[in-house]
């Protein structure tokens, strides 16, 4: 009777371990993006801090205006590419590109240059 109790416990321990290992990868796999699902967000400072300059769910082909020369990080929680554009004398330079479902805690040389976003 005693061994039966122990083996039942062992089985339940194995089942628990199996359950935990099944849960762990699911929790770790998709990194949670900073911006809400379906939205692109641009932030005033690096690491998604400061003012939220843009929070948009504009679709492909849209142009989204942003406060000039302030964006320092961004989160793209959409299935589209978002391109940060620096407008100079009416000519747009693509200075930073967010692939679908990516965060950028810094944007390098594009820092404080973006004036609008093109959704592609």
Contact positions toward Ca ion, by CB under 5 A? 44, 69-70, 72, 86, 112-113, 115
CB-closest chain residue to Ca ion: 72
Give, as one character, the DSSP assignment of residue 34: S
Give, as one character, the DSSP assignment of residue 105: S
State which residue, 38 or 69, has the beta carbon closest to Ca ion.
69
State which residue, 34 or 113, has the beta carbon closest to Ca ion.
113
Least CB distance to Ca ion at residue 54 (A): 12
Least CB distance to Ca ion at residue 101 (A): 23
State which residue, 101 or 111, has the beta carbon closest to Ca ion.
111
CA 11, 12, 15, 20 torsion-angle sign: negative
Least CB distance to Ca ion at residue 86 (A): 4
Q: How far apart are the first and last CA of the chain?
A: 68
Distances (CA, A) of 37 to 8, 53, 77, 102: 44, 17, 5, 12
State which residue, 33 or 66, has the beta carbon closest to Ca ion.
66
């Amino acid at each position: 009777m005693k061994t039966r109790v122990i083996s039942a416990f062992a089985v339940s321990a194995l089942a628990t371990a199996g359950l935990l290992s099944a849960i762990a990868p699911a929790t770790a796999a998709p990194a949670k993006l900073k911006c809400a699902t379906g939205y692109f967000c641009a932030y005033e400072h690096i690491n998604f801090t400061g003012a939220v300059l843009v929070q948009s769910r504009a679709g492909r082909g849209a142009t989204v205006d942003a406060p000039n020369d302030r964006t320092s990080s961004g989160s793209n929680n959409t299935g589209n590419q978002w391109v940060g554009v620096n407008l100079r004398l009416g000519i747009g330079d693509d200075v930073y590109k967010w692939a679908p479902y990516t965060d950028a805690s810094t944007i390098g040389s594009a820092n404080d240059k973006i004036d609008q976003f093109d959704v592609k």
